[in-house]
A = this chain, B = another copy of it.
Amino acid sequence: MQQRANKPGKPAKRSGRAPLPAQWGNALPTIQERNDIKRNSILRAAAHCFNRSGFHGTSMDDIAERLGVTKPALYRYVKNKHEVLFACFNVVMDVSFAHLQRAEQGEGSGLQKVRAALAGYLGELIGELGHPIVLTEEGALQPEQLRALIKRRDELERRFRALVELGMRDGSVIPCDPKMAIFALFGAINWVPKWYREGHEWSPAYLAEKFVLLITRSISAVPEELDSAFSVETYNLQQETSDG
């Protein structure tokens, strides 16, 4: 096992880090990649435990046990439980910002950008990241961590509202209060990990697409354009395809 730990207090970066030399023609992960993989495994295991038992009801032993490693092995990669919780929140934020930025820079109407950003985020939240990523334990963060999180969240909400306003200007979104619209959309999305379970009848990709189409219909200026996507017939058909 690698002894090199990431700097404590810093969430694993998703990109932009100088690559280390590749061995075996890139067939094996680099040291850095292996460290990131391990750290991400820790965050997934921790998120699972936090969501099941809450922050205070979860010990570092629980997280180590879920990963099948010793507690000392765990401490090579993370400093303490608060750092783990904060990192979980930051991973979610990183994912959200990544999809938002892609949507902002991409083509399409304001509504299409909102849809792309939300669907990308939701798909990754319940898919790659593992469904039960923690989102409701802010109260357990330390004050400076909470301030940092709120600052990021405020920026996220502000930029999402700007996309709704863009949609109102380009005619894709009905005249509405962007603040209320974003609260409603975020609520529907952020509640998904409360009921979605791995192996659900809806795949992450299927759910991300259909669910976001459904909830953004609330602000769409042409809500009928996609109505065929919601019909029970389409739903059953898609299910058979994804199951088969």
Contact = CB atoms under 8 A, between A and B. Distances in A.
Interface string A171-212: 000111100110111111111101100000010000100110
A165 to B, nearest CB: 10
A217 B218 contact: yes
Contact of A230 (B175, B191, B217): B175
A186 B174 CA distance: 23
A232 B139 contact: no
Contacts of A191: 183, 186-188, 190-191
A230 B210 CA distance: 24
Q: For the complex, would chain A's binding face be called helix, strand, loop or mixed by DSSP majority?
A: helix
Contact of A57 (B140, B190, B195, B219): B140
Interface stretch (A31-39, A48-56, A95-103, A107-115): A48-56
A230 B220 CA distance: 12
Contacts of A189: 187
B218 A180 contact: no
A215 interface: yes
Contacts of A54: 54-56, 137, 139-140
A243 to B, nearest CB: 15
Contacts of A223: 217, 220, 223-224
A222 to B, nearest CB: 10
Given A54-B137, A54-B139, A57-B139, A183 B175 contact: no
A65 interface: no
A177 B230 contact: yes
Interface in A159-176: 174-176
Contacts of A224: 223
Given A51-B139, A177-B235, A217-B217, 6 more contacts: A57-B139, A175-B230, A181-B214, A184-B188, A190-B194, A223-B224
